[in-house]
Structure 1
Amino acid sequence: MSRFTLEEYAHRLARTRDAMQARQIEVLLITSPENMNYLTGYDAWSFYTHQMAIVALDREPIWIGRGIDVPCATATSYLQPSDVIGYPDEYVQSSERHPMEFIAAELERRGLGSRVLGVEMDNYYFTARCFHKLQASLPRCTFKDASGLVNWVRIIKSEAEVELIRQAGVIADRAMTTAVETITPAIRQCDLAARIMQAQITGTEAYGGAVPGGLVMGIGAKAAAPHLSWTDDPVGSDVVANIELGGCRARYHAGLARSVYLGNPPGQLRELAAIVRDGLETVFASVAPGRTCAQLEEAWRGVISRFGLIKPSRIGYSIGLGYPPDWGEHTASLRPGDATELQPNMTFHVILGMWQGALSFVLSETILVTETGHESFSRMPRELFVVS
């Protein structure tokens, strides 16, 4: 069963239904695994096949997925067995039939075949073929784009969610400490990644970790590339290694990034590290309820502009519940023009990556917006780590 109380799920559903009514949506079709988890507790590595949680305004949610995954739903969700439905394996990755046809028939059977349906159009796990099959199979329904509806409900965390992200922050620190203590010029990048991943999943003696949304490394000549994976090459000497990882606890994430130099760092890199650290602390000092995401980015820009530096990409985003390939919530971003106001119990991954060729530097932490400011979920020193 889920880690959350039935009362918390009821609260989540009520807020979701309020958002549905505001958009005049009668039935919400949820295919993103994180939103499915958020509203039902469902948690399994089954998102490579089509599955769906269905939330109507006037009845309890239901889950529909591959038949062999029904035990996953009964083991992890709070749903009643009658609301957990499996489709036959003949629908799995078939050119002749599609799971959305099965789902459409179930909607019809439950009297939902002529409603206004909200669909998560901008979602990794909802394909063009999914939408085509739903439209063709439910000709009396009206379809609306419900992308982001549940994501925005999720942006303010409960105390139970905050505690899981706090624990994820501890795991992230342990994984990054492992990276700093393990990295050498001779170690293969893949072996370094393996040690980091072991720490991510081992977690602590009190609680273990889960598979996070990602692990990226930009090393040496590739340090300016923010989203590269590892190779089987040695790390090498006189290079910077930019490492971004996440701690993951029960699918809740805390992102963390640090840079390590193998050798004697050039003065230019040391200066960049000092500027970025000053920028991060300036951003954190600007965090308060009522401030906007754009104002936090403006505080950062005010620091780096004094040194003639520019960062064209956003400096952070809302983070929390996630499944591969991502841990971001696809809602608020710390960038110019984002007028989202900070509220207590929002969580952000603030990432200040200055990708400037071989002399690049990254520094990030995940924070909680509090009533008076912020709480960081990391205790790692905010510095350029040096390995001689």
Structure 2
Amino acid sequence: MDYKQHIKDLTNRPVSKELAFAESEYRLRIEKVRKVMDERGLDVLLVTYVPDLSYLSGYQSFGSGWYSCMVLPREGEPILHMHGLEIGPAMLTSWVKDIRGVPWSYNDGVAVGLAEILKERRLEGQRIGIWTKRPGLSIDLYEGLKRALPDATLVDASDVVAQPRMVKSPAELEYMRSSAQITMKALDAVLPVIKAGMTDNQIAAVIYQTLVNEGSEYFSTQPIVSAGQRNCFGHTTFRRTPIQAGDTVALEFGAAYQRYTSAIFHTVAIGKPSSLIQKRARVINETIDLLLRAVKPGCTAHDVAREIGAGMDEISAVPSSSRVYGYSIGLGLPPTWGEDIYFIREGIELELKPGMTFHSPLSVRVPGTPGIGFSETWVVTETGCEILTLHDRELTVVEA
């Protein structure tokens, strides 16, 4: 089989596109990225971090762990170089016309094929930006590029696309509002059904069903339901655990709408909570309230963290200097909705600007005591912030 001819035949077929945004918005993003490239003296970018690639090309797929790369020169049209299984999703969801593929068994072909594209564009001896600090660039690919392009200068460009991604467009914010609406419907659906005797899987099933029924796509982060001993630790989720009196149940989830997520974190107490749990819930929510009042365009992430940090010192052993009060959220593909671009934390001198979006999950988890946490997803506005997931954050208590 002539694989290259097969790909050519496949990509030459007319396809009804499923673009999340107008092509003009993607091209505006390309222009912004190229300005950063000019500042860094980069001749071409090899975008291997899938969320950044999606931001520029529109490409969406649950197979985001497969190899994919956008070749973005300072001039001319970009090229997508994809694992063969991802050509179909790229054709459907991306505006980029030039899509090249590599076979399923591509162990030796990725770096060589990518180098051939660069040589075709006469970029083999130039300053090439690569994503050394993000998932997607394997050691094998990096070493292969060095062998195939001995005259090239490989430069870390891991934050080049992150700069334009920081501030969301009006269209992006509308997708996040749509996500928030679906997320809130799932919270409203699940809270009344939680009771002692059921399992964390049964709780998760209600969240999954509601999110999907209401219009969510496949999730960037799977819904989290954590109870019992497992709720003493972060990043644990449902595992057939029976819900018992005295437990707290942590719920953290968010609908995906055109790959944009507005997430929420809420806690349910099974039976009357102890005074310790009540205090933790109160302090966490008071801190979130302080955070949302402190946010103003022009202030820095450091300023906000310093202003609100004292309250959590009552209930958390994590020093205020290293505590995170929010992280960037928006466009995501599995396994995470977090953008990993910026954080609300001391020492981060990032100026807050209208259109920046954050998820602020605050929690206390101490082994031997029930875990607890709450959050909101919000966007910086011209005057402060808009809470996208506005809801009653009071600790939900159900009968044991």
| TM-score by shorter chain over 0.5 | yes
Inter-CA distance 222–72: structure 2 relative to 1 (3 Å threshold): closer
- Does residue 247 of structure 2 align to residue 228 of structure 1? no
Partners of 2:62 and 2:218 within 8 A in 1: no
Aligned-pair distance for 1:172?
1.6
- Give the AA of the match of 1:216: I
Q: Which residue of 2 aligns with 1:214?
A: 222
Q: Which residue of 2 aligns with 1:131?
A: 142
Q: What's the CA shift string for 1:101-132, capped at 9, x where partnerless? A: 21112221222211211111122222111211
Q: Which residue of 2 aligns with 1:349?
A: 359
Deviates more, 1:16-25 or 1:174-183: 174-183
Aligned-pair distance for 1:11?
1.3
Partners of 1:171 and 1:209 within 8 A in 2: no
Q: Which residue of 2 aligns with 1:85?
A: 100
Q: Which residue of 2 aligns with 1:200?
A: 211
- Does residue 335 of structure 2 align to residue 325 of structure 1? yes
CA distance in 1, matches of 2:219, 2:312: 35
Aligned-pair distance for 1:309?
4.4
Q: CA RMSD in A?
A: 1.7
CA distance in 2, matches of 1:311, 1:177: 32
CA distance in 1, matches of 2:316, 2:54: 41
Q: Which residue of 2 aligns with 1:67?
A: 84
Q: Select which of 102, 109, 112 maps to 1:101.
A: 112
Inter-CA distance 100–175: structure 2 relative to 1 (3 Å threshold): farther
* Alignment coverage as a number of residue pairs: 378
- Give the AA of the match of 1:370: T
Q: Map 1:255-294 onto structure 2 (within 5 A).
A: 255-294=263-302
Task: Name the SS for the 2:336 alignment partner.
Answer: coil
Partners of 2:196 and 2:243 within 8 A in 1: yes
- What stretches of structure 1 move > 6 A for 4+ residues in a row? none
TM-score (norm 1): 0.93
CA distance in 2, matches of 1:74, 1:360: 44
Partners of 2:19 and 2:95 within 8 A in 1: yes
Q: Percent identity?
A: 28
Structure 2 unaligned segments of length 5 or more: list them: 1-17
CA distance in 2, matches of 1:9, 1:19: 16
- Give the AA of the match of 1:339: E
CA distance in 2, matches of 1:292, 1:135: 39
Q: Select which of 44, 51, 54 maps to 1:37.
A: 54
Deviates more, 1:372-381 or 1:155-164: 372-381
Aligned-pair distance for 1:198?
2.0
Deviates more, 1:337-346 or 1:71-80: 71-80
Partners of 1:297 and 1:335 within 8 A in 2: yes
Deviates more, 1:350-359 or 1:120-129: 350-359
Q: Select which of 122, 125, 135 maps to 1:111.
A: 122
CA distance in 1, matches of 2:196, 2:232: 19
CA distance in 2, matches of 1:101, 1:149: 25
- Give the AA of the match of 2:129: G
Q: What's the CA shift string for 1:142-180, capped at 9, x where partnerless? A: 100111221222010000000001111112212222332
Q: What's the CA shift string for 1:304-354, capped at 9, x where partnerless? A: 34x464444312111110112221121211111001011000001111112
Aligned-pair distance for 1:380?
2.1
- Does residue 308 of structure 2 align to residue 303 of structure 1? no
Partners of 1:63 and 1:85 within 8 A in 2: yes
- Does residue 24 of structure 2 align to residue 18 of structure 1? no
- Give the AA of the match of 1:324: P
Q: Which residue of 2 aligns with 1:50?
A: 67
CA distance in 2, matches of 1:199, 1:45: 20
- Does residue 382 of structure 2 align to residue 371 of structure 1? yes
Q: Which residue of 2 aligns with 1:146?
A: 157
Aligned-pair distance for 1:136?
1.2
TM-score (norm 2): 0.90
